[in-house]
Structure 1
Amino acid sequence: MAGKKINPLLKSGLEFGPIVAFFAAYLVLKDKVFTIGGTEYGGFILVTAGFIPLLILSTLVLWRLNGHLSKMQVVTLVLVVVFGGMSVWLNDDRFFKMKPTLIYLLFGGALSFGLLRGKSYLEDLMDAHLPLTKEGWMVLTRRLTGFFFALAVLNEAIWRTQSTEAWVYFKTFGLTAAVFLFFMTQGSLFKKYGLEQGGDQG
């Protein structure tokens, strides 16, 4: 179901604003320790605690304005609440750092399941409206599936071997840049399998 049209800048602000706020707050609080209820919490945990309601609020506003949410947005929100909440509740940042790994594994697994059935779930999963042939969707889905699994492995390698600060930079800029570059490099695919506006697939 198509959503209502909203201002692209407002949409981008609602989608990326919480991430930018998380990064900015982390830079301010990363070296601080807070004692709450007799328990010490590092700046990362406090920032995570603030990020969860901020993401919930921005997602609800986006849903209210747009009329719907993509499956990716819903799954991401659920995992942030669950794993972010576990990090705060248990005072352990590892759960929140594992969240991107699970997101990419879930999406990669969903796309793989579709491929095994000879179908592409990509358009529905991403709410994409790219004019591609059936073969084009299958090729793009195979590539994106491998890309998601690669990002899952990369996130695990970064958070397990690097500092929290390095992971925050990687999460904020590295993953975003990787996704952007992936689609930028698919130009030849879009050209080869693209459909003329209003054209058909057969």
Structure 2
Amino acid sequence: LILVALLSGADYDTQGLERVGVTISVALAKGGFATELLDGVRRLRDSPAPDDLEHFLAEWRTSVADELRTNSRGLMSRREKKLADTVERATAFPSLKIVDFYLDPRVSDPRAADYTAPTWDRQLDLGALADFAQRKFEWGHVELESKLRNKVWLGLALREARRAALAADSERSHASPSRPAPSGSTPPVPSGWIAAVRDLKVDTTTGLVPSYRVELSAAVFDA
């Protein structure tokens, strides 16, 4: 994914290389050029000879250009001679600053005094996700629906079930005689989601908290 981001553009560099899209970037990554690049950068980043890394990057660009011209690995639909010329002319590619952003991302330190744990309570904008996928991956309506159904729906269903369970736990923890907790017999998920409970497990490793294996109704994925 790092090579795809570098070639076709992403958050840190929205341009990437001219006319190099996601499809070709993925083909090059599958061909081993991503691993070769990142391994080389890690190995030579602190080399006592500063030219070592520049020489490596020049050789790597030449290898990428050769593959674009020949398609020797057969991972692209055709040879891309013009893109090969683009890669050879891009003597400043890839930017080591951008590569470092991906290899060593700056994230919040949970040990810091001012650290605030994320709550992940914002609802997913499914419309924006679909629009992004259509623009970036060039998926048509049928392919988009299939991808969302097979790759996203289950995660959304589990996320919603988790959110509902946490909300139910919160209500129980704040219960009082004047405000009793909701009945435990009602599953803390939307009505009709659970088709069957297949298994129950109670183990000391989880503090004897019951764990259920459930089957979600197929209707959950028909949205």
Higher relative contact order (CA 8 A, sep 6+): 1
Higher Rg: 2
Fold conserved (TM > 0.5)?
no
